[in-house]
Structure 1
Amino acid sequence: MLKITQRYLAVNFIAPFTMSLFFFVAFLLTFQLFRIIKIVISKGVEWTLVFELMGHIAISFIPMAVPLSCLFATIYTLNKLSEDSEIVAMRSFGLTKSKLFLPFLISALFIGACVYSLNNKVIPASKTQFKNTIVILTSRGVLTDIKEGQFFTEVAGVTLFADTVIDKGRKMYNVFIQQEGKGNLLEQVVTAKEGALIKMRNDEWSVPSVRLHLTNGTIVKRFKDSEKNLEKILFKEYDFPLASGGAVNNFVTKDGMRTNSELRKEIEAATKRAKEQKLSKRDTEVSMSKTKLELWSRINTPIQCIVFVLVGFALGIKHGRGKSKNTSGRALAVLLSYYTIFFLGVSLARKGIVPAYVVVFTPTILAAIVGGYFYKKLDWAS
C-alpha cells in the first residue's frame, strides 16, 4: 500500500497531466481543424459531423500527446511542491528518492498500459471511421462538382477536365487527367474517350472509394531519368482512383487502421513476398518500413511514458526555495533532441538504411540514459 505522502504525490500529478493532455491534443487538432471545416462547409453538412470528426482525430492524437503530458506534468508537480517546500518536508521525515518516484512510476505504468490498449483496437477503429466519413463527404463533391468544360482540382495533385459531363459527373466524354508524380516520376497524363464515376467499398476496411472508370485511352508518363524520360501505355479499360480532401485524407494511413496483430500479419506477408521476389535486404526493409514503424511505435509509447516521467522527476525537483534551475529549458532540450533523432531515423528507415526498431527505440534509450544521469546526480543530502 502506498503511504499517504505517496498517494498525495499521485493525486497532485493527475490534474496537471489531464490539463497537459487536453492542451497537446487541442494544439495538434488545430492543424487538421481548418482542413476539416473547409470540407464540411464546401459540402454543406451538419456541424454535428464536425464534432464527430474532431473526436476521431483527437483520439488518434492521444499516443503522441500522452508522453509529452507525462513529462510536463511531472515537472510542474515537482516544481510546485519544491517551491512550497513540501518536498523538503517529505525528505525531512525520511522519504528517499525511490519512494518519492514510486507514485509517478506507477502512474506512468498505468497510463502506458491504457495507451497501449487504445493503440491496439480503439484508435485503429477510430481512424477507420474517420477516413470512412471523409471519403463519403468528399465523394459527394466528386459527383456534383465536376462540370463540363471546366477544370476540376479538388483532388490533391490532380487536374481533371471533360468536354461533356452527364448525370452530375457519373458519365463523361473526352476526359483529360494530369497527375503530379512522385520520386523519379515527374507527371502522368491520362486521356480517354469515356469515363464513369463508380463507388467501391474495401471489404477489409469498409471504407468507400471513388474511382473513375476510363475506356479507350492512353497513359503518358514523364520521368526525370534522361535515358527513359517518356513512357506511353494504351488501354481499353483503366480505373483511376479519386479521393478529394487533400492532406486530411492522407492523415490516416492503412497501417494506422490496423490492429497490432494485423500489423504483425502484414509484416509476415510482406517478408514472404520479398523472399518470393528475391528482394535485397535493403529493398525488403523499404517495403515494410512504414508498417514496422507503426508497430514498433505502438510498443515504444508506453516505454516512452515511463522514460519521460523519469526525466521529469530528475529535472523537476528543485534544491529549495530561491534555488531554482531552468527545468523547462532542459526539458525542451531533451524533447528537441529526442524528436530530431527520431525523425532523422524515420527518413533513414524509409530508405532501408536503418531498421525500424532501431529508429524507434534509440531516442527512448538515450532519453532514459539522460534521465538516469540526472536522477543519480540529484543531490538528496543537501
Structure 2
Amino acid sequence: MKIIYRYLLVELIQPFLFGVFAFTSIFVGTDVLISLAKMMSQYGVPLLTIVKLFFLSLPQVIVLTFPMSMLLATLLSFGRLSGDSEVIALKAGGISFIKIVTPVLIVGLLISGLTIFFDNSLVPASLNTYEEIVWKLKHGTVRPKTQKNLVISPVDSQTGKLDYILTADKYDGNTQMLEGVTWQDYEDGKLVTSIQAKKAEWLEEEWVFIDGTIYTITDNGQVPQTTFKRFNMKSNLDRTPTQITRNQKEPEEMTLSELSEHIELMEEEGRDVKELKVVYHQRYAVPFACFIFALVGAPLGLQPNRSGSSIGLGLSIIVIFIYYTLMTIGSSMGEGGSIAPWLGAWIQNIIFTIVGVGLMYKASR
C-alpha cells in the first residue's frame, strides 16, 4: 500500500509543480512585468532594483497559484490514471476509490496549511518591503509613517457608551509623537475631563502629554483648569504607536494576528469592519481551496475523455472561474451585510465541498 501511495504522490507532485510554474508565469507576464516595465521607464529605476522588486512580488503570486495548481494536478494525475486504466486495476486489486484518493486529500490539506503559513509570514513581509521601495522611488524619500487628523473614539465594552475621544493634528510614526492633541474622557457617556496639549510622546511604554491644560467638568457646571509641563496618561490611552501606524497598512500587508487586532480596534471605535472581516476570513478560506479542489478534482479526473492534458487545463480554468465568481458574489454580500462576513468568505468553499462530496460518492459506487 505504501508503494501505491508513493506512486500516486509522484503522479500528483509533478503536475502540481508544473501548475505553479505555469500559473505564476501567466500572472507575472500579464501583471508584474508590465508594472515593473512602466516603473523602469517612468522613474529610471536601476535594473538591480527591478530584479529585487520582481522577487519581492513573487511570494504573493505563488501563494495565489497553489489552489489552482492543486486542482490542475489532481485533474491531470487522475485523468492519466483513468485513461491508462490504472484506477480500474487498483480497484480490481481490492483498493477502493476512497483509499486511492486519501493521500491526495492529505496533500491538499498540507498545502492548504503551507499556504496559510506563507500568507501569514512571507507575503506581508515581502509586500511591506516592496511598497517601501516603490514609495522611495516615486517620492525620493522613505515611506512616511505619519497620519494627519487622527481620531480615536473607542466604545466601552461594558456600558456600550463612548469611552474617550483622542484627536491629533498629526501623528509622526518615526518619532512616535502626536501633535496638537486633545483628549476627552467620558464616564457613562458624560464628558468629565478634557485635556489639550501641544504634543504627546511615547516614552517608556506610555503616552506622555507635554505643555497642556486639564479641564475637569464638575456636576455643577464649573470647569477648573490645571496647566502642566508633563502629564503621564498611563493606562488611560491604550493605543500603542504600532496600533496607530497600522491604520496606514493595507490588509494584505498585515499578518493574521495584526489584522485581527486591527479589526478589534476598529470595532471599538464604532467603524464598519464588515469588509475587513471578509478579508480576514478569506485569508483562511482561499488557501483551504487546495483541499477543496483536490476533493473536486479527483472524481472529475475520472470522467470519460478527461485524460488529455489540454482538456484537464481547460476544465481547471472553468472550475477556477466558477469558484472565483462565487467568491466575488459571496464577498460582496458579506461586505454589504446581506450575510455574515465569515459566510461571505467561505460560501464558495461550502458549495464546492457539497459538490465534491457528491462527486466522491458517485465515483466510489
Specify the TM-score bucket, using the shorter chain as the normaliser: 0.5 to 0.7
Residue in 2 aligned with 1:6?
5
CA shift, 1:73, in A, is 0.7
Residue in 1 aligned with 2:82?
82
CA shift, 1:95, in A, is 1.1
Answer yes or no: is the 8 Å Cα contact 2:334–2:342 preserved in 1.
no
TM-score normalised by length of structure 1? 0.63
Residue in 2 aligned with 1:356?
341
Q: Following the alignment from structure 2 to structure 1, what is the Cα–Cα distance between the partners of residues 357 and 312?
A: 16
Answer yes or no: is the 8 Å Cα contact 1:63–1:301 preserved in 2.
no
Percent pairwise identity: 27
Answer yes or no: is the 8 Å Cα contact 1:315–1:331 preserved in 2.
no
Residue in 2 aligned with 1:232?
none
Q: Following the alignment from structure 1 to structure 2, what is the Cα–Cα distance between the partners of residues 84 and 201?
A: 66
AA in 2 matched with 1:290: E
Residue in 2 aligned with 1:111?
111
The alpha-carbon distance between structure 1 residues 319 and 36, as it changes in their structure 2 partners (threshold 3 A), is closer
CA shift, 1:43, in A, is 2.0
Residue in 1 aligned with 2:63?
63
Residue in 2 aligned with 1:98?
98
CA shift, 1:79, in A, is 0.9
Answer yes or no: is the 8 Å Cα contact 1:6–1:99 preserved in 2.
no
Asked if 1:288 corresponds to 2:270, the answer is: no
CA shift, 1:34, in A, is 1.0
CA shift, 1:105, in A, is 1.2
Residue in 2 aligned with 1:300?
285
CA shift, 1:253, in A, is 5.8
AA in 2 matched with 1:265: E
The alpha-carbon distance between structure 1 residues 321 and 349, as it changes in their structure 2 partners (threshold 3 A), is closer
Runs (4+) off by over 6 Å:
320-323
Work out the number of aligned pairs and report it. Answer: 263
Q: Following the alignment from structure 2 to structure 1, what is the Cα–Cα distance between the partners of residues 63 and 268?
A: 30
Q: Following the alignment from structure 1 to structure 2, what is the Cα–Cα distance between the partners of residues 320 and 344?
A: 32
AA in 1 matched with 2:359: F
List per-residue Cα deviations over 1:304-347 (Å, max 9, x = no partner): 11111010001012469999xx7666544433322112112223
CA shift, 1:350, in A, is 3.2
AA in 2 matched with 1:34: I
SS at match of 1:348: helix
Residue in 1 aligned with 2:163?
none
Moved more, 351-360 or 69-78: 351-360
**Mind listing any 5+ residue stretches in structure 2 that lack a counterpart?**
142-170, 176-247
Q: Following the alignment from structure 1 to structure 2, what is the Cα–Cα distance between the partners of residues 36 and 358?
A: 36
AA in 1 matched with 2:262: E
Answer yes or no: is the 8 Å Cα contact 2:20–2:66 preserved in 1.
yes
* Cα RMSD for the two superposed structures: 2.9
Answer yes or no: is the 8 Å Cα contact 2:56–2:129 preserved in 1.
yes
AA in 1 matched with 2:255: T
Asked if 1:16 corresponds to 2:15, the answer is: yes
AA in 2 matched with 1:96: S
Residue in 1 aligned with 2:52?
52
Residue in 1 aligned with 2:300?
315
Asked if 1:373 corresponds to 2:354, the answer is: no
SS at match of 2:339: coil
Residue in 1 aligned with 2:123?
123
Matches within 5 A, 1:1-382: 3-29=2-28, 30-140=30-140, 202=173, 254-274=250-270, 284=271, 287-318=272-303, 331-378=316-363, 380=365
Answer yes or no: is the 8 Å Cα contact 2:278–2:335 preserved in 1.
no
